[in-house]
Every structure is written in structure tokens, then in C-alpha cells.
Chain A
Amino acid sequence: AQSVTQLDSHVSVSEGTPVLLRCNYSSSYSPSLFWYVQHPNKGLQLLLKYTSAATLVKGINGFEAEFKKSETSFHLTKPSAHMSDAAEYFCVVSDRTWDYKLSFGAGTTVTVRA
């Protein structure tokens, strides 16, 4: 069975500085990996996904993530934070077995200081 660990429950950055959200996963198979964002009082929105193509994945709003199999990591980055990036971020893994289940991380809350 798969699982995912988000290493930081809360990240605080200044506007214009880089953002790094860390995610480690475990999977018995070749995983699919996703990052979702949740703004206050909203549903989740897909930022990007990895499904065994290029290991560097570009998403919406300037975010990107790199799949590193040797480190079992899928960290999310953005070069320059914007106030609108303040939200909760979830790393999600699926090992694409027959139980059709996704595993969500506990989430990382990002605050952006002016």
C-alpha cells in the first residue's frame, strides 16, 4: 500500500522569495503523484501531476515539482511567492494497483508575508 508524508505542516515565506514544500512517498509500484492546492473555503484544485513521463513537472501558477525515485520524494517549488499562494497544499500518491485508492498527505499550510 502507498503512503505519503509531508515534512512540514506549516511554511512561512516572504513575498518574492522561493517556496519549497517537501513530500516523501512510499509505494510498492510505479506511482502517480499529485499536488493539490486548497484556498480558504474552497475545494481542492490540481496544481500538477507526475505519471511516469518527465521527472520535472510544471504546473499552474509557476509551480513545479521534481520526481526523485532514489529519494522517494516529490517536492513542490516556486521561485517567487505571491500573496495569492497563501493556501494549504496536499501531496497525493497512487500506486495504481487495483484498489483504486489515493493517499493524501496531512497538508502544508503556506503563509506569505508582505
Chain B
Amino acid sequence: EAQVTQNPRYLITVTGKKLTVTCSQNMNHEYMSWYRQDPGLGLRQIYYSMNVEVTDKGDVPEGYKVSRKEKRNFPLILESPSPNQTSLYFCASSPGTGLNEKLFFGSGTQLSVL
């Protein structure tokens, strides 16, 4: 089944403890992206990647890192999480640039930073 898989689904952590949220897609998509969703703000893009080893900042990249060493994986890394990073996170992929084509979304990761 074609899908975008995020793990974990729920995560509770403490300030400063490094964490990684994994994202994997099995559709051979070029484009992958991370978003955070906060009430009243919609989705805001954190980072995106057009292809392997090509990543770029979105609208809210501060406090996050990403890597794209393989086409299928695009992990989101929080080196030193803070409470303002408590949010619902979504990974998405698309066969093209993501601008004209459908985005395929994962089921989300609810992160709480205490």
C-alpha cells in the first residue's frame, strides 16, 4: 500500500532532550516536507527536500534539523526541544515539486515538550 509512515504517533519529552521523528515513504517520491500544525494557524512548513541531499528551509525552520540521505526517508530532528515546539507534526511527500501535484500526508506525530 502506498503510504507515508511517521513514527512515533505520540511523544512526550522534556526540554533539551534530543529527539528524532522518522518519516518514510514507499512511493519513490522526489519531494518530501515537514509541517507543524497549531490551532488557528493552519499548517506551516518547517523544511522541505526536492531530492536526496537537497534540503531547504520552510517558513519556521528555527530549532529543527532534517536530512535526506535516502530518497525514502526524511527524519525531523529536534536537537534541544523547547515547550514552544509542542505541536502536531506532519510529514508529506509528492511525486513532483509539490506545487502542482497532490501531497500525500502521514498520520501525524503529536509532540509534547514539558
Contact = CB atoms under 8 A, between A and B. Distances in A.
B105 interface: yes
DSSP majority for the A interface? loop
A106 interface: yes
Contacts of B34: none
A44 B100 contact: no
Nearest to A42: B107
B43 A100 contact: no
Interface residues of A, number: 22
Contacts, number: 59
B105 A45 contact: yes
B108 to A, nearest CB: 6
A102 B43 CA distance: 10
B97 to A, nearest CB: 5
Given A101-B45, A106-B41, A51 B100 contact: yes
A43 B90 contact: yes
Report the interface size class on chain B.
20 to 34
A46 interface: yes
B102 A90 contact: no
Contacts of A17: none
A96 B106 contact: no
B56 interface: yes
B75 to A, nearest CB: 17
Contacts of B31: 100
B50 interface: yes
A36 B102 CA distance: 10
Interface of B: 4, 31, 35, 40-45, 48, 50, 56, 58-59, 90, 92, 97-100, 102-103, 105-108
